[in-house]
Structure 1
């Protein structure tokens, strides 16, 4: 038992950097403190204490913005988001309504916000539906992946599959043309009709057998709380970095699709090494059904039939400060702000993914970083840590242990890069959907508790729920700004 525990493969995440412009304070907080000082000091010299008291509402407001926290982050850092949200709300950009009298142009997607600029391209050779973003200059394809029960495998087999998945990501990073990879784990509440229906049709109805009685009792207690899981992987090609390869493949969108097929083949080989079964690349009806089901949770994917991307978007969307109202559902998006900082097994997200009775989507967006850019970022971080330590020593401020931990994480990252490993930025988001607002708040509370059990910390993304929902619940491999 002791040997098995010692051989358990574990992983550890680095602490999220909290570097700032001055003494760990961000630029917005430093600006607020400077504005407070620029208000208080002149009034103190000109009018004395009465003048400072008269101007106290102004400089106290700046200090509150600098040091008060709201929603897990300083109020000064949330102020730009609040201003942008109020500006969009005043211009009516937080509401979306489909217009049946104005059909979408051919080849476009009926999605709200900046996702409406996406263009559809059908690859004739593979049949996959590829999405072209003319602004970000990316081309994206989505794959459906099946995998066995990972938790039931032996520690050695788990470590082997983790290593295989890591090599698959490293292979995509080495090409330098992959913009990002998105992994979506969609969990849908299931009534258990598939399990009970199979038992009714093929089961042995002999109550004298102990196994039959136990199996029927298990179905009565667990089948109603079952969930259906669906895993999607979206790979996005950077058309700017792949310009030379596209010219060699035939130029234009056809050349970009041909080169993306090569990246798709490389991903398939990497998935096989990790014992992940790629069922197929989504065509237009399958991708349209996925998008439609995300905005309309009541609809059954099997009833969508030959749905087209031009009509697969929502009918109505209302964006609020902390949630999104769309068609037949309410949704809220959480950002995984901290990952486990202690050694955890690879299946540490089990309690979060298999939370019963909640419709949710876990999105992991992985963005490869070139070795040159990663080393440049590491050098910048080392300089900032050294400067911050010198400033604290000069002012007599006690250094925090978290500073040394973050510095050690940067050095460990540098050692990994020098050893030949790929550097990847990853962002985790959770999109939770419910039929009512009260049900949504209850589901968010449950998911937050499950995240704590998994060793993660989550924050609700205020003021940007519409864009966050498109990034977290749709397999579009969009850039995430958390």
Structure 2
């Protein structure tokens, strides 16, 4: 008698999604601001009819010239925002703000401070006892305090899907906890990959080889050092947490605020470890300066990682020279281009959807992928999801036949409101990808590589035109919160 067929006891793979971009209620596809402008123009045109028809026509034409840039949208930005960004770029270029020189070639002789947004930043050392001395980056103009944690991710190779799902659930819980963290304004998860020619492996092997090691062991390790680095790569994962001074405590000094930020780290470690981050350790001031210096000058990255006796400080972590272009950024020995997320993947995704985007690419000197979260407080979350639900319902019911996208958006808004009422957190998020190459001719190849990786991740990316220097700095472990420093409204 044949045995009965085996049942498929495997549970279906989990899917993730329901992220949505909030769209305000408006008429004819316009946002709330453009709708108000349209009503104001219509009212003013009617009033001008009492004067003369010509005055009413002139008012209507002028109103259309104002309404047009607000109604036109391209890659998530209105025409008015695009025009304002171009004007701001021309203005900065005319003032030579796109060129940076330091050291003996500049007025600040002997110093290589960081350019742009980070020019006034400082690093304070805080003694934590168990974790040693850690570095806290202070941006005084925005009063932001950033501490960075170095993680050792365990990866998902040969890991059961149930364990991967548990890690994602722990990460969701960790993000929800950030919404209740006092003074937290931003959390950034950065994965940076660098092809390794073998310097790190050779230094590790020779530094740990015993003097009386057998000749056979020495020969085998020598063969490993010579052949293995051909496909090796260095992957570094950093989590940066940026705080600001809580309301009612504006009198705190930088030193007091840095100590308070450092005191909040222990209870955040366990959440990251459960999410698959492995060993989590705060980054020291020297490591912070070395990471930033290597980003601006990729040619010295291997020397900084292999020789810890090199004197690297935050005050000298900047480039010798940098020049920002409309679509790229040149800094010391590297040429970089930064892309920003326009739209998150539609529909559902899986736990490994973004893995190819963070995998090493041997054609690039460095690749940095930064996932930036800005959590809402519980009170803001409740107000936001209810407002989104009302706006989505208005957009779906104002038409006799709502589109499928309107109905899906309404369902997503209602689901988000239900999940928030059940205790889930609400966060804004975006993604920045920075690719660094050795010459300007290789930027086109980097563009093709990133476009291919973005397609595999179902992401829509575009170069951050006119803001290459600022977005390059935003991907570093320095706590740059872009909306705070933006001169063009987003």
Whether TM exceeds 0.5 here: the answer is yes
- Larger deviation: 407-416 or 275-284? 275-284
2:3 matched to which residue of 1?
Answer: none
1:174-221 per-position Cα deviation (integer Å, ceiling 9, x unaligned): 23332221111001122356669969975759xxxxxx9xx99xx97x
Measured in 1, the distance between the counterparts of 2:40 and 2:444 equals: 38
Match of 2:411 among 379, 383, 408: 408
1:96-149 per-position Cα deviation (integer Å, ceiling 9, x unaligned): 11143654899xx82111221222211133311111222322211112110212
Contact 2:294–2:301 (Cα < 8 Å) also in 1: yes
2:351 matched to which residue of 1?
Answer: 346
1:470 aligns with 2:477: no
Measured in 1, the distance between the counterparts of 2:121 and 2:278 equals: 28
1:314 aligns with 2:315: no
Helix, strand or coil for the counterpart of 1:256? helix
Helix, strand or coil for the counterpart of 1:243? coil
Measured in 2, the distance between the counterparts of 1:350 and 1:223 equals: 22
Measured in 2, the distance between the counterparts of 1:360 and 1:31 equals: 43
2:284 matched to which residue of 1?
Answer: 283
2:173 matched to which residue of 1?
Answer: 167
1:209 matched to which residue of 2?
Answer: none
Measured in 2, the distance between the counterparts of 1:2 and 1:476 equals: 53
Measured in 1, the distance between the counterparts of 2:83 and 2:431 equals: 23
1:259 aligns with 2:260: yes
1:124 aligns with 2:127: yes
1:10 matched to which residue of 2?
Answer: 15
Q: CA deviation at 1:446?
A: 1.3
Q: Within 5 Å, which residues of 2 pair with 1:296-311?
A: 296-303=297-304, 305-311=310-316
Match of 2:151 among 145, 148, 154: 145
Contact 1:335–1:429 (Cα < 8 Å) also in 2: yes
Measured in 1, the distance between the counterparts of 2:274 and 2:406 equals: 38
1:431 matched to which residue of 2?
Answer: 434
Contact 2:147–2:262 (Cα < 8 Å) also in 1: no
Contact 1:29–1:77 (Cα < 8 Å) also in 2: no
Measured in 1, the distance between the counterparts of 2:41 and 2:379 equals: 40
1:229 aligns with 2:235: yes
Helix, strand or coil for the counterpart of 2:299? coil
Measured in 1, the distance between the counterparts of 2:41 and 2:332 equals: 45
Q: Within 5 Å, which residues of 2 pair with 1:305-454?
A: 305-357=310-362, 358=364, 359-389=366-396, 392-393=398-399, 399-454=402-457
Contact 2:125–2:136 (Cα < 8 Å) also in 1: yes
1:92 aligns with 2:96: yes
Contact 1:296–1:327 (Cα < 8 Å) also in 2: yes
Match of 2:84 among 77, 80, 86: 80
- CA change 1:413–1:92 in 2 (3 A) is same
1:480 aligns with 2:482: yes
Contact 1:104–1:110 (Cα < 8 Å) also in 2: no
Measured in 1, the distance between the counterparts of 2:169 and 2:73 equals: 40
- CA change 1:299–1:416 in 2 (3 A) is same
**TM-score w.r.t. structure 2 length?**
0.79
Measured in 1, the distance between the counterparts of 2:127 and 2:77 equals: 48
Contact 2:187–2:372 (Cα < 8 Å) also in 1: yes
1:302-341 per-position Cα deviation (integer Å, ceiling 9, x unaligned): 3372201111111112111111111111111111222222
Helix, strand or coil for the counterpart of 1:167? helix
Contact 1:365–1:477 (Cα < 8 Å) also in 2: no
Helix, strand or coil for the counterpart of 1:300? helix
Measured in 2, the distance between the counterparts of 1:203 and 1:165 equals: 44
Measured in 1, the distance between the counterparts of 2:127 and 2:381 equals: 37
1:135-172 per-position Cα deviation (integer Å, ceiling 9, x unaligned): 32221111211021224311011112222222223333
Measured in 2, the distance between the counterparts of 1:322 and 1:465 equals: 7
1:248-287 per-position Cα deviation (integer Å, ceiling 9, x unaligned): xxx5334323321232111112223334233532222211
Q: CA deviation at 1:65?
A: 4.8
Structure 2 unaligned runs (5+)? 1-5, 207-215, 484-489
Contact 2:396–2:407 (Cα < 8 Å) also in 1: no
